[in-house]
Amino acid sequence: MIPNKFDYQKATTVEEAIEYLVEYGDEAKLLAGGHSLLPAMKLRLNNPVKLVDINRIPGLKYIREENAMLCLGAATTHYDIESSELVKSKIPMLCQVAASIGDLQVRNMGTIGGSLAHADPAADWPAGMLATEAIIVIQGPEGTKNVPAKDFFMGLYTTALAENEIITEIRIPIPEGNIGTAYAKCVQPASRFALVGCATIISKNNGLCDRVKLAFTGVSVNAFCDEAVEHALTGHAPDVDNITIAAEKAAINVDVLSDHFASENYRRHLAKVYAKKALMEAANNL
Q: State the residues that interact with another protein by CB under 8 A.
A: 1-8, 10, 31, 34-35, 38-39, 42, 51, 53, 55-56, 79, 102-106, 108-109, 190, 192
Q: How far is the CB of 1 from another protein (least distance, A)?
A: 5
Q: What is the 3-class SS of 137-170, one letter each residue?
A: EEEECCEEEEEEHHHHEEECCEECCCCCCEEEEE
Q: Would you say 62 and 73 are in contact if contact means Cβ atoms under 8 Å apart?
A: yes
Based on CB atoms, which residue is closest to another protein, 32 or 257?
32
Based on CB atoms, which residue is closest to another protein, 102 or 173?
102
d(C-alpha 195, C-alpha 150), whole Å: 21
Q: How far is the CB of 223 from another protein (least distance, A)?
A: 23
Which of 272, 92, 84, 245 has the alpha carbon at shortest distance from 182?
92
CA 32 to chain centre: 16
Q: How far is the CB of 276 from another protein (least distance, A)?
A: 25
User: 126 by DSSP, 3-state: which?
Assistant: helix
Based on CB atoms, which residue is closest to another protein, 78 or 249?
78
Q: How far is the CB of 199 from another protein (least distance, A)?
A: 21
Based on CB atoms, which residue is closest to another protein, 63 or 243?
63
d(C-alpha 270, C-alpha 263), whole Å: 10
